[in-house]
Amino acid sequence: MSGDERSLDSRNLSPAMSSALARFRDGEVLALARAISIVEDERAGFEDLLHSVLAVGPSACRVGFTGPPGAGKSTLLAAAATSYRADEEHIGVIAVDPTSPYSGGALLGDRIRMNDLTTDPGIFIRSMATRGSLGGLATTTKEVLDLMDAFGFDRVLVETVGVGQIELEITAAADTVVVVLVPESGDAIQAMKAGLMEIADIFVVNKADRPGAARLAHELRQALHLKAGNTFKDMPAHHGVNLSRVLRGERTTEAVSPGGQTGWSIPVLTTVAQNGEGVPELLDAVETHRHWLAASGQLKARRRSRTRARVEDIVERELGRVARRSERAREVLESALDDIADRVETPYSVARRILDGLLR
Amino acid sequence: MSGDERSLDSRNLSPAMSSALARFRDGEVLALARAISIVEDERAGFEDLLHSVLAVGPSACRVGFTGPPGAGKSTLLAAAATSYRADEEHIGVIAVDPTSPYSGGALLGDRIRMNDLTTDPGIFIRSMATRGSLGGLATTTKEVLDLMDAFGFDRVLVETVGVGQIELEITAAADTVVVVLVPESGDAIQAMKAGLMEIADIFVVNKADRPGAARLAHELRQALHLKAGNTFKDMPAHHGVNLSRVLRGERTTEAVSPGGQTGWSIPVLTTVAQNGEGVPELLDAVETHRHWLAASGQLKARRRSRTRARVEDIVERELGRVARRSERAREVLESALDDIADRVETPYSVARRILDGLLR
């Protein structure tokens, strides 16, 4: 499906990887699935594969759905996907569940809701198992998003559960972020509101046929109004930025607005995803936001900001890998264990020696 | 409170840090609080401070309490602390809440429950704000544990909420891990059981006066019995091991048993923490486990395993810091952003150039 604008640099790829890439570029869904597995497992050469694939660059519309468990994100996403499919768009879906590495996640219900769609060859659904890749899940998921993008889907929809840090980071890889809430969320929402305000491009109060929906929508509009003065400054800044570092204060969030004069006013919509109520309005809002992104220069700015964060993520991941695979580091460590136990050394002095051996 | 067996290497410390260290070693609680803040904020020289402090080495009994929210861990911990205080032990408490960086955590209720204890000068309570230190929270918390240990507390109690990866890693820094469940936990427990089995040294069914407690205890005993054959092999192996990597398959879990013939049979106890029922039996079990650890050689083996993981954590953290602070890396990145947008480069090729500049 993807275009073929420029020749890819696949010199570093193994024969197996080259053939996978060729089939990927021919639009074979199985090759996409295989490429995703290669990236998820960080198999040898996976970064070369991504390098080759990324030479095509981003073109899909990326829409993220996030919110607390039980908000109906999957149902809403399924309704959106169905509508896009009616327009014959090709859709990629990524569902992320970063819960306990042991629980295996709570995606079963979501998968069942998706079932109607899974037989449609125009839609490709992948759920990201966490397998405990702490810190790595966000980066890997963004890479899978890139793969889907490069494969040529018109739209890639990402669903994350909750608003923890990993979810926030993943969400930042979307162009448009839809935050889904329900009246029942209640107090939990209060606590999360600050964070949600930062990441939402569009708010949806789902299950709007239940009591409290109008009040929640009203509260959200009020909260948005209160911070309207600095909405533009705050709102898009998280995109592409490594939130964990921002929150640690290690990197300043930068305003990515080119001018600052054309703000985006975050809409608060109501839906009943189960029967499709309000879904057309939501999809309209997504389109409007998309146009605003392009017209205001935000799309380019967000992508640039994402690129910056991505390079830093790749560097950090590789540094960790180098350290773990260093034969010398292992020797230094093993030979120092007794000295640490005897307090002749400490983990800090040993780490320093290992670092001196690794760094220029 | 701490002993003064050997002279510390404080050559690298700034005058301010040296004075903080001296007051720390004199047993000033304010100096402990200040040292914790220095480590939490990763202020300049914090690793030198830890190096100096660690020359004293571990001597406190470290007991971890973990389990789902609402299981009554804080109440149980408070009951345990009160009992230890009756024996005039000095107690350090660390409460960790790795929830959303924005919510500020749900520790308020816990703090209130702790209130009776906070006026007692023989107990020191610190709650770890997450401030979004993804990946860093576990390491920082373990360093705070070390600080409390070196300060000279007889016992350090650590409470983590939930059984996510960060919690599991922190829990692994305890000598004895108490997993607290309640009848109400229901299905959630089913999902988590596998993970809990791996980390528990002692199971507690709290709120045992409620319906379903006996059944949960029975189920747990059955599950433990089922895997009794390999209990010893599996059970202690997580201690000190970087779980995130183990789960990613990057490092094999190693059996730390010296002989393998003297197993620990995980008890399942019932308590009503609110009125103290079952608490003495729990504390007995903690003592018994402690003796087993020492007698079997497990205590030494676990500490050795923890040391190994700690060195690796410090190395990785420092590598990330070096990368983020590298002037050259920043220049390479900034000058490549246009090329990446134009697809002349990709984040992977740019990351490679940065890495070549950093690594030996």
Which of A280-284, A326-330, A354-358, B44-48 shows the lowest per-residue confidence on average (mean pLDDT)?
Answer: B44-48
Subunit contact A319:B57, Cβ cutoff 8 A: no
User: In chain B, which residues have their Cβ closer than 8 Å to the Cβ of A251?
Assistant: 324
What are the residues facing A91 on neighbouring strands?
A: A123, A155
What are the residues facing B27 on neighbouring strands?
A: none
Beta strands per DSSP E along chain A: 61-66, 91-96, 123-128, 155-160, 176-181, 202-205, 268-270
Percent of chain A with pLDDT over 90: 42
Q: Out of B166, B346, B355, whose CB is closest to A54?
A: B346
CB-CB contact of A331 with B356 (8 Å): no
Q: Which residue of B has its CA nearest to A54?
A: B346
Subunit contact A247:B311, Cβ cutoff 8 A: no
Residue B275: Cβ-neighbour burial (10 angstroms; 0-12, 13-18, 19+): exposed
Predicted local confidence at residue A284, as pLDDT? 97
CB-CB contact of B93 with B64 (8 Å): no
Q: Which residue of B has its CA nearest to A45?
A: B348
Predicted local confidence at residue B8, as pLDDT? 37
* Tens of pLDDT, residues A191-249: 455 577 778 999 999 999 999 999 889 988 888 887 665 444 443 334 444 443 433 33
pLDDT tier, A189 (very low <50, low <70, confident <90, very high otherwise): low
Per-range mean pLDDT, top range of A17-21, B88-92, B111-115, B228-232 = B88-92
* Tens of pLDDT, residues B235-280: 333 444 444 343 333 333 333 333 333 589 999 999 999 999 999 9
User: In chain A, which residues have their Cβ closer than 8 Å to the Cβ of B191?
Assistant: 100, 102-104, 106
According to DSSP, the β-strands at B268-270 and A155-160 are unpaired
Which of A70-79, B59-68, B111-120 shows the lowest per-residue confidence on average (mean pLDDT)?
Answer: B111-120
Predicted local confidence at residue A162, as pLDDT? 64
Predicted local confidence at residue B355, as pLDDT? 95
Beta strands per DSSP E along A266-307: 268-270
Give the ipTM of the model, two decimals please. 0.81
Q: Which residue of A has its CA nearest to B52?
A: A346
Predicted local confidence at residue A102, as pLDDT? 30
Per-range mean pLDDT, top range of B65-79, B141-155, B248-262 = B141-155
According to DSSP, the β-strands at A91-96 and A61-66 are unpaired
pLDDT at A282 over 70: yes
Question: From the CA of B157, how many Å to the nearest CA of chain A?
Answer: 22
Scanning the structure block, which residue is given the tokens 């003796």? B291
pLDDT at B314 over 80: yes
Beta strands per DSSP E along B113-183: 123-128, 155-160, 176-181
What is the DSSP code string of A139-185?
HHHHHHHHHHHHHT-SEEEEEE-B-SHHHHHHHTTSSEEEEEE-GGG
Mutation target for B interface from A2, A8, A48, A311: give the one with most B CBs within 10 A. A311
In this prediction, residues A310-319 reach a mean pLDDT of: 91
Taking the alpha carbons at both ends of chain B, their separation in whole angstroms is 44
- Could you tell me the CA-to-CA distances from A187 to A99, B104, B199 in Å, in that order? 21, 13, 32
Q: Out of A5, A50, A195, whose CB is closest to B102?
A: A195
pLDDT at A184 over 50: yes
In this prediction, residues A293-299 reach a mean pLDDT of: 94
pLDDT at A138 over 70: yes
User: In chain B, which residues have their Cβ closer than 8 Å to the Cβ of A245?
Assistant: 324
3-class DSSP state of A253: coil
3-class DSSP state of B277: strand
Q: Which residue of B has its CA nearest to A191?
A: B103
Question: From the CA of A112, how many Å to the nearest CA of chain B?
Answer: 19
Predicted local confidence at residue A219, as pLDDT? 86
CB-CB contact of A185 with A215 (8 Å): no
Which of A93-102, A274-283, B252-261, B321-330 shows the lowest per-residue confidence on average (mean pLDDT)?
Answer: B252-261
Per-range mean pLDDT, top range of A104-108, A279-283, B68-72 = A279-283
* Tens of pLDDT, residues B123-137: 998 888 655 444 467
* Tens of pLDDT, residues B172-210: 889 999 999 998 876 555 645 556 777 899 999 999 999
Predicted local confidence at residue A111, as pLDDT? 45
Which of A137-141, A179-183, B205-209, B243-247 shows the lowest per-residue confidence on average (mean pLDDT)?
Answer: B243-247
User: In chain B, which residues have their Cβ closer than 8 Å to the Cβ of A168?
Assistant: 101
C-alpha to C-alpha distance for A140 and B47, rounded to whole angstroms: 31
Q: What mean pLDDT value characterizes chain B?
A: 79
Which of A196-210, A291-305, B110-124, B162-176 shows the lowest per-residue confidence on average (mean pLDDT)?
Answer: B110-124
Say which amino acid occupies A106.
A
Q: What mean pLDDT value characterizes chain A?
A: 79
pLDDT at A260 over 50: no
In this prediction, residues A25-38 reach a mean pLDDT of: 91
**Among B152, B156, B273, which residue's Cα sits nearest to residue B209?**
B273
Which of A287-291, B57-61, B188-192, B326-330 shows the lowest per-residue confidence on average (mean pLDDT)?
Answer: B188-192
pLDDT tier, B107 (very low <50, low <70, confident <90, very high otherwise): very low
In this prediction, residues A119-148 reach a mean pLDDT of: 77
User: In chain B, which residues have their Cβ closer than 8 Å to the Cβ of A244?
Assistant: 132-136
**Among A130, A132, A162, which residue's Cα sits nearest to residue A144?**
A130
Subunit contact A333:B312, Cβ cutoff 8 A: yes
Which of A1-15, B19-33, B60-74 shows the lowest per-residue confidence on average (mean pLDDT)?
Answer: A1-15
